[in-house]
Amino acid sequence: MSIKVMSLVWEGFPASGSEMLAMLALADWCNDEGGSLHPSMKAVAEKIRVSEKQARRIIHGFEEAGYLKVVGHANGGAPGTTKQYQLNVAKLKGLADEAAARKTAPVRVTPP
């Protein structure tokens, strides 16, 4: 489990719902560099409690948005193998940094 990557997701990932759960699951499975990530669609679906078809849509959406890159077995490889992915940790860090910059310190208001 990568607490660092998971923290970046918690702090800045803009989506919610199933997309947020899927990104947290991927962050949970990957190493600190976002690699060593090779979940099956069945595993993603089970972990975030959606259908395999919905998990596939979410993962493909992450690929299209640049959050996730296929780095091995692009066509699925031999039977029983899954694609290998790399999370874009730099993008997640940028989002977390932007979210932190938007936070403002509380303003003291004197009661009337």
Given a cut of 70, whether residue 78 has pLDDT beyond it is: no
At 82 the pLDDT is 83
At 2 the pLDDT is 45
Higher pLDDT, residue 81 or 50? 50
Q: How far apart are CA 59 and CA 54, in angstroms?
A: 9
Please, which residues have CB within 8 angstroms of residue 41's CB and are 6 or more apart in sequence? 52, 55, 56, 59, 82
Mean pLDDT value of segment 56-83: 85
25-34, 71-80, 98-107: lowest mean pLDDT where? 71-80
27-60 pLDDT tens trace: 999 998 999 999 999 999 999 999 999 999 999 9
Structure tokens that stand for 42 in this block: 């069945």
Given a cut of 70, whether residue 8 has pLDDT beyond it is: yes
Q: How many CB atoms lie within 10 A of CB 68?
A: 25
Given a cut of 70, whether residue 103 has pLDDT beyond it is: yes
